[in-house]
Structure 1
């Protein structure tokens, strides 16, 4: 236990140091995000979050007292996405190349490492397991690529993507700690520590009004892949800690936001990955929330949604009931996106009322 605590502290400290040390080399190399039409941060910001998180995570994982051979696919997939993402951050490569890298990472997880979603749990009732059989590998690849893109597309405000990933990892680590854990739990804890170190430099707070560094495509894709790996580890196998429906609750916010946006874009005849200003956080902007307030609200919402799945499981709520409860949440999200302007006006009124009460 002492060794694990030391490893976690080392992952956090090393990531923080790297974020300080690599800032200037990134600026010289041009690995930066420049302000443009949709990016209004006002200055160039180094895109070193993904590099520093991966280096801190890998270095802290090496002294592990268990074999890392079973996690070669994890490290290899993260490295592939990081390299392709860094190249994209430097020279803006074609979207299909990034998609190919995502598929390669998913195949490293499924075909090479054998980590797949074998069943979807008892969504249709007790003792009725939805086994995927021959569809397990393609379904897992689809879900992994989908989550990678969900985290990548959710990365629109300082601290939002990393904060949401940290919230999800927090629930997975807590579930593992309560249920006895496994080797993947240690790695998930180390990765969470590295992500939290990055958030200190990325999330706005009273002492930091602007982010000192960004994830970039390299970091957001890598975070999505690692989260997918640990989520499948937690929900599959003979020693699964959580049912798949609980994982759906943990990942609900970025996944629902991405699915809703892509569906609307397709219905309008646009490319599903075409950037716009219709994300969930844009609704909060229109309602008068600051970027920091928006991130706080959405990360807390992600924590609350995850609590329904995890605590519900601990209390013995049947999986089919958790699945049924998920439907109105998804419908409410879809309605809020479809009526974005009305929803923003409603929140603006509520925000003004709350502020007036506080002043009074």
Structure 2
């Protein structure tokens, strides 16, 4: 655990320290987000924040090569984790830089995402097995494993890209997802007395670090955006951890009542990324139904609707954090207990309280504002004689 914590710390520290320099470079380079009708920021803001996140990832991997236990993970002959992350991450960052500076069409970005998934496959990051309810694992031949791997990578990248519309939203949501994956992988290995060293856990740790390091610069009011450079990078890392984690645990080591943890890798990312995935599906349906391209931008994403309900920018982001955290913690909790009723009861109670707060808070704020506006002004106080 100490080596994982050190990896997270290095990734966060380097990303945090690099971001101001990247911001100055983005201004000089001309990579700034102009104010558009569908945006919520009111001044041009530099992009390319993903460069700092990529720097944090590289630094963390370099440090990991010098750590005794992490070196074993990176030296795994079956899966070249470090090489895969560097090559695919570098490729996706180059595509992101081009888009943040000059803008590229959707087909070009899609081709870059598929190419990054191809790098994963060549380095051994691929879906090979899927857990079955019988307690066995279904082996996937390349004819099925390769396209399924590409689909997961591309879908995750675009889901993260879709939600990157509020300051700190994408970095926070993906950071929570990565923390859930890290906790699941490490704790399940530890409680079942298996090795806690894996490429999936290391990737999740690196992702937690770079999101945590970038978030202070990106939270409202954001001084820099991650841009497509960052959103595609963290989506790529999230998909890599998920793919490597699927099928990592052998059913023979798990008891009958703990078969559910087998399916957590397949469920965790869709659950913690439910907000961006639902947002993406709704956006595609909405735009297609209106006769527009699925990639045509609009101002009807979930975070825009939260702002319309009367929530502030920061509160809208914190609401998204809340729901992602609730879903993630519920799934991870089910991995370590056989009491479905207990987890469902706690999750349901917290969800009801969250919904009530989402509706009540903006109304209370509006009521207070209206009361303050209609309240008579205090009469001037008479001067005291000197």
Matches within 5 A, 1:240-319: 242-243=262-263, 244-316=266-338
Larger radius of gyration: 2
Structure-2 separation of matches of 1:303 and 1:246: 11
Give the total of aligned pairs: 330
Q: Which runs of 4+ in 1 moved over 6 A?
A: none
Does the 8 Å contact 1:176/1:182 carry over to 2? no
User: Which is worse superposed, 240-249 or 162-171?
Assistant: 240-249
Partner of 2:182: 173
* CA positional deviation for 1:154: 0.7
Q: 1:79 aligns with which of 90, 94, 114?
A: 90
* CA positional deviation for 1:192: 1.0
* CA positional deviation for 1:349: 6.2
Summarize deviations over 1:240-292 as a string: whole Å, max 9, x none: 96522344323322112212221232233221111111211111111001111
Summarize deviations over 1:293-317 as a string: whole Å, max 9, x none: 0000011101111122221222237
Structure-2 separation of matches of 1:237 and 1:131: 13
Cα RMSD after superposing both structures: 3.0
* CA positional deviation for 1:239: 5.2
- 2:210 maps to 1:201: no
Q: 1:104 aligns with which of 115, 121, 124?
A: 115
Partner of 2:63: 63
Partner of 2:197: 182
Does the 8 Å contact 1:235/1:247 carry over to 2? no
Does the 8 Å contact 2:218/2:225 carry over to 1? yes
Structure-2 separation of matches of 1:94 and 1:120: 38
* CA positional deviation for 1:63: 2.5
Does the 8 Å contact 1:78/1:222 carry over to 2? yes
Q: Which runs of 5+ in 1 are unaligned?
A: 205-209, 330-342
- 2:124 maps to 1:113: yes
Q: 1:230/1:140 Cα in 2 relative to 1: closer, same or farther (>3 Å)?
A: same
Structure-1 separation of matches of 2:151 and 2:277: 13
Does the 8 Å contact 2:23/2:49 carry over to 1? no
Structure-2 separation of matches of 1:309 and 1:9: 26
Structure-1 separation of matches of 2:35 and 2:320: 24
SS in 2 for 1:63: helix
Q: 1:165/1:199 Cα in 2 relative to 1: closer, same or farther (>3 Å)?
A: same
Does the 8 Å contact 2:22/2:51 carry over to 1? no
Partner of 1:207: none
Partner of 1:158: 167
Does the 8 Å contact 2:35/2:41 carry over to 1? yes
User: Which is worse superposed, 273-282 or 230-239?
Assistant: 230-239
Partner of 2:157: 148
Partner of 1:19: 19
Q: 1:117/1:301 Cα in 2 relative to 1: closer, same or farther (>3 Å)?
A: farther
User: Which is worse superposed, 157-166 or 263-272?
Assistant: 263-272
Does the 8 Å contact 1:120/1:245 carry over to 2? no
Partner of 1:29: 29
SS in 2 for 1:119: strand
Q: 1:226 aligns with which of 231, 234, 237?
A: 237
SS in 1 for 2:110: helix
Structure-2 separation of matches of 1:129 and 1:61: 31
- 2:148 maps to 1:139: yes
Does the 8 Å contact 2:249/2:262 carry over to 1? no
Q: 1:356/1:42 Cα in 2 relative to 1: closer, same or farther (>3 Å)?
A: closer
Structure 2 length as normaliser, TM-score?
0.77
Q: 1:42/1:15 Cα in 2 relative to 1: closer, same or farther (>3 Å)?
A: same
